[in-house]
Amino acid sequence: ASTAKFFVGGNWKCNGTHASVEKLVADLNAGDVPADIDIVVAPPFIYIDYVRANIKGAYAVAAQNCWMKPDGAFTGEISAEMMDDAGVPWVITGHSERRLLLGESNRTVGLKTGHALEAGLSVIACVGETLEQRNGGNLYHTLDLQLQALFENVQDWGKVVIAYEPVWAIGTGVVASPEQAQEVHAYVRKVLGDRLGKATSEGIRIIYGGSVTDANCAELATQDDIDGFLVGGASLKAPAFINICNARG
Ligand code: PEP
């Protein structure tokens, strides 16, 4: 188990209009969430500044992606330095949608993660296997390669949260069972412990993502190595997201 605070992230993905974002922020502001956990919401880039300026202090904001150089001729990209300059403290790296739909390799994810940390951001770094990889007996090999790319680029693990997100569970309604998730989280903790030492590994949050709802979060949250959640679909509904923030009661 981690000794660090429970963590809940909301990944809004490519969803929202100015009106719906305004309503979601107002509804999140009206909800009661525990003061002793970390909560981070990741709106689309274009709405981040509005959310940052209008959401209450219980929630921090994150970007869903960043570039791996400070500036230059990289049309369409937004750098970690710009996020830091704009008051965005967190970024998600390595989300499976970016890995699979946009071709981000383990190396790219590692470089982005290392660069974001150097720029002063905290990072939610995502790992996870496809169904094909799991069924082919490659679950742990896949995770090893994804984690290795992080080990090669991360100096300071104090600002890293690892999100285990099995691709087969993302947006599918098929949630990993608490035992399935715990088994993988325990493995990730062991790999972290072997590389970084037990004390450091216990300070790192390993959060679960993949079809988390307010109906299944409580049981997942009882598992020893599940230190929180990364929530996609249910993070767009304030009542559900608030309930998930209260998963530990
Ligand atoms: C995600 O996109 O990180 C995610 C976990 O999505 P969902 O909760 O919709 O499965």
Number of domains in the chain: 1
Q: How many residues does the chain have?
A: 249
| CATH number of 121's domain | 3.20.20.70
- Residue 197 Cα, ligand 1 centroid: separation in angstroms? 30
Q: What is the pLDDT of the chain when averaged over all its residues?
A: 97
Tell me, yes or no, whether 127 lies in a domain.
yes
pLDDT above 90: residue 249: no
pLDDT above 90: residue 2: no
- Per residue in 107-128, pLDDT (tens digit) is 999 999 999 999 999 999 999 9
Q: 81, 97, 129, 165: which one is catalytic?
A: 165
pLDDT above 90: residue 37: yes
ipTM comes to 0.97
Give the structural domain span for 139: 7-245
Q: Give the dihedral sign, CA 170/205/1/7.
A: negative
The answer, yes or no, to whether any atom of ligand 1 lies below 6 A from the CB of 117, is: no
Tell me, yes or no, whether 138 lies in a domain.
yes
Tell me, yes or no, whether 2 lies in a domain.
no
- Per residue in 164-189, pLDDT (tens digit) is 999 999 999 999 999 999 999 999 99
Pocket test for ligand 1, best of 170, 174, 175, 214 (most atoms within 8 A of CB): 170
Mean pLDDT of 35-48: 98
Tell me, yes or no, whether 80 lies in a domain.
yes
The answer, yes or no, to whether any atom of ligand 1 lies below 6 A from the CB of 212, is: yes
At 57 the pLDDT is 98
Q: 95, 97, 104, 115: which one is catalytic?
A: 95
Which amino acid, 178?
P
- Per residue in 46-76, pLDDT (tens digit) is 999 999 999 999 999 999 999 999 999 999 9
Phi, psi of 238 (to 5 degrees): -55, -45
Pocket test for ligand 1, best of 95, 96, 165 (most atoms within 8 A of CB): 165
The answer, yes or no, to whether any atom of ligand 1 lies below 6 A from the CB of 235, is: no
Mean pLDDT of 94-104: 98
Confidence of residue 3 (pLDDT cuts 50, 70, 90): confident
- Of the candidates 50, 116, 123, 42, the residue with the CA atom closest to the CA atom of residue 81: 116
Tell me, yes or no, whether 1 lies in a domain.
no
